[in-house]
């Protein structure tokens, strides 16, 4: 695939800026380094083979190293997972907003669900005392 498009006699680094031109049809990208062109070929012109395994993330990659970096980032960002759908959020308040808007929960119900998800609170009925659960 890629090797068929690349010239085997090319030097590893060009002596002039952006000497390596992408050999794919209708692509006019140019690169100073052969390795950068090869990375471009894999990411822009090769069939995508790897999907992020994190629930709710639909990011796809043709390069395992790029996927690995993304997965680490994605896991750090997804600290707060919605208990009702596959979405996840980096901030608790963003998940709370999601629960009240996407799942139409009152703020009190969203807070209770968040607390039960992390093991705080229980069946004793104790709450934040916020009152007024109107969901306008």
DSSP string, 49-95: -EE--STT---EES-HHHHHHHHHHHHHH--EE-SSSS-EESSHHHH
CA–CA dist 20, 98 (Å, integer) = 47
The pTM (predicted TM-score) of the whole model is 0.36
Tokens 């050999």 appear where? 23
70 close to 52: Cβ distance less than 8 angstroms: yes
Please give the chain's pLDDT, 136 residues, in tens.
454 455 454 445 546 677 888 888 888 889 888 888 888 887 777 766 778 887 667 788 777 788 888 888 877 766 788 888 888 777 788 888 999 999 999 999 988 888 877 665 444 433 333 433 444 3
pLDDT, position 132: 39
Per-residue pLDDT at 73? 80
What was the pLDDT predicted at 136?
A: 39
Element (H, E) at 21: strand 20-21
> Tell me, what's the pLDDT at 108?
92
């Amino acid at each position: 695939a890629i090797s068929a498009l690349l010239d085997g006699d090319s030097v590893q680094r060009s002596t002039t800026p952006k000497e390596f031109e992408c050999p794919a049809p209708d692509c006019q990208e140019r690169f100073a380094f052969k390795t950068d062109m090869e990375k471009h070929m894999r990411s822009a012109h090769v069939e995508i083979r790897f999907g992020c395994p994190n629930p709710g993330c639909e990011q796809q990659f043709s390069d395992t190293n790029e996927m690995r970096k993304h997965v680490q980032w994605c896991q750090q960002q997804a600290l707060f997972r919605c208990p009702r759908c596959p979405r996840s959020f980096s901030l608790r308040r963003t998940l709370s907003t999601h629960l009240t808007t996407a799942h139409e929960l009152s703020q009190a119900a969203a807070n209770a669900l968040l607390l039960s998800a992390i093991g705080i609170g229980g069946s004793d009925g104790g709450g934040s005392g916020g009152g007024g659960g109107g969901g306008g």
